[in-house]
Amino acid sequence: MHKRRRLPHVIALAALALAVAALAAGCSGRGPRISRLTILVSGNTLGYLKNCGCSTGQAGGELRKARLLKEERADAVKPQPADKGLQADVLVIDIGNFVDSSTDVQRIYSGGVVRAMSTEAFDAVGLGMSELSYGQEALAGFLKDAKLPLVATNLRFIPPATGTDHSAELNALFHAYRIVRLQSGYKVGIVHIIDVSVARELGTPMGFELSDAAQAVRGVLAQHAREARMWILTAADVRRGGTDPGSIADIKGLTEVIGYKEGNPRQSQTSTKAVAPYFVQPPFDRAMDVVRVEISLDSRGKVAAALPQEVAIPETVNADPEVEKIIMDLQPVLERLETQQYQHSLLDQPGVHPRYVSSDTCGVCHKDVVRQLASSAHTQAYDSLVAQGQQKSPACLPCHVVGRNKPGGWNVLLNPPPMRGVQCESCHGPGEYHEMKMAGKPVPADFAAGGRNRFGLLPMTREGCIVCHDTMNSPHFNYDTYWPKIAHKMKQRPPKSTKAGS
């Protein structure tokens, strides 16, 4: 099994071995008996199909999450002495927000995430705000062939204010609840809610309505509670002022509530007494982890313990072969997009200055600096993409080449060698004006625009570094540690922060 740690808000619940009388409705009745049920929960992938792979410590991503889920599923059903001859079973759920509509690249990657999820044998998949942000036409395009077991208890699509109406098609893809018959024959009911605050944030023109979540769930359980031995509620995008956790905790018959960052409001922070239903926090963004909930049942089939744990997805998790193939299939699509973006940028920027001139030009006057930086990892940034097969990926290129798709800079059609990797102009901006000034030529009126200094260049700052060295792509980056590694052998000091107090 993978490295695990208990979720912070359930540490106080170490004594969850007590049977809970309120769970009797969910665990009563005849049917197959099991010793353990492991619930594996993913969510908040946000289109994060694959890490760039350009630095160490990059975690998460669908490529690894898919592999981890399959391994965890296999581990969950392995016999243990405590099972006493009874079978263990596993339930796999995604609570939504698996796509991202922010850019064209993310839409392409999101399509890959949906295809990958279709291979992962989920028992139930919910929606979140990121899916509803797409609008009906794009969402229907993603989901119609995905064959995902979609659940949305308080969601209904309606004709949108603009665009093509796909509300009937989308409503047909969803179920208000799902009864899952596990391999052992044990039945689990699943309901999924989307926080009502999402409707306020996105607005109804997107073509959907969110009803009161607690009321919708009560309606399902009132009619169908006896169809399952246990009921699980998953929630997406829960916010303060949204769906009240107290109204959810009051629903009888629920065993688990997954998606609230706070614990059961009926449970005091210091109490060790188990209070049903058990509240479990959602997975982190960008598939940084999955959540494992291990439920033990007693000899009467009632819940005896419920232990939620975070299962991190570090870079040491191997890639999933099926998702790797999906990524390779997307490469031609990404390459076409990169080509289109390059052509579009030239059409929109005729005569734009200053232009990029390359470190070859910089080296005319700054030979020692260029020679020094040539030995740094920065100059190998493009090669790292080649090693990952991502050298034409629009998601990675901005931080791995100089002046991507800008006048004089790198583009996918020409792929000029002097503009590959991270070089002088990656940090200091296009050097055309600096070259003009140093040659004694007249400089244009916008010479100092856009933050350029008296040399016609952008001054280096800490904030300039973390544009690319952010916490996701460069998790171990420390400015004070790494700046001396590239400090130029010139009469200069380390760049000052542009923010007061940094």
Instruction: Provide the whole-model pTM.
Output: 0.85
Mean pLDDT, residues 247-262 taken together: 94
Determine, yes or no, domain membership for 485: no
Mean pLDDT score of the chain, rounded to an integer?
A: 88
Q: Tell whether 302 and 427 lie within a shared domain.
A: no
The pLDDT-based confidence of 281 (bands split at 50, 70, 90) is very high
- The token duo for 132 is 């509803």
User: Whole-angstrom Cα distance, residue 281 to residue 262?
Assistant: 7
Q: Which of 298, 317, 336 is the last residue of a domain?
A: 317
Overall number of domains in the chain: 2
Determine, yes or no, domain membership for 174: yes
Report the pLDDT value the prediction gives residue 342, as an integer from 0 to 100.
Answer: 79
Q: Tell whether 272 and 413 lie within a shared domain.
A: no
Q: Tell whether 261 and 382 lie within a shared domain.
A: no
Mean pLDDT, residues 8-32 taken together: 40
Q: Return the number of other C-beta atoms located less than 10 Å from residue 168's C-beta.
A: 9
Q: Is the pLDDT of residue 484 over 90?
A: no
Q: In the β-sheet with 34-42, what is the strand arrangement from edge to edge?
A: 4-6, 303-312, 289-297, 34-42, 87-94, 124-125
Q: Tell whether 78 and 182 lie within a shared domain.
A: yes
Q: Which of 236-250, 340-354, 376-390, 407-421 has the lowest mean pLDDT?
A: 340-354
* Residues of the domain holding 182: 14-317
Report the pLDDT value the prediction gives residue 496, as an integer from 0 to 100.
Answer: 52
The pLDDT-based confidence of 490 (bands split at 50, 70, 90) is low
Q: Tell whether 285 and 402 lie within a shared domain.
A: no
Determine, yes or no, domain membership for 77: yes
Q: Tell whether 99 and 64 lie within a shared domain.
A: yes
Closest by CA to 306, choosing from 17, 11, 499, is 17
User: Whole-angstrom Cα distance, residue 171 to residue 85?
Assistant: 43
Q: Is the pLDDT of residue 27 over 70?
A: no
Q: Is the pLDDT of residue 294 over 90?
A: yes
User: Whole-angstrom Cα distance, residue 475 to residue 190?
Assistant: 36
Measured in degrees and rounded to the nearest 5, phi and psi for residue 335 equal: -65, -40
Overall residue count recorded for the chain in this entry: 502
Q: Are 232 and 93 in contact (CB under 8 A)?
A: yes
CATH of the domain at 307: 3.60.21.10
Report the pLDDT value the prediction gives residue 24, as an integer from 0 to 100.
Answer: 36
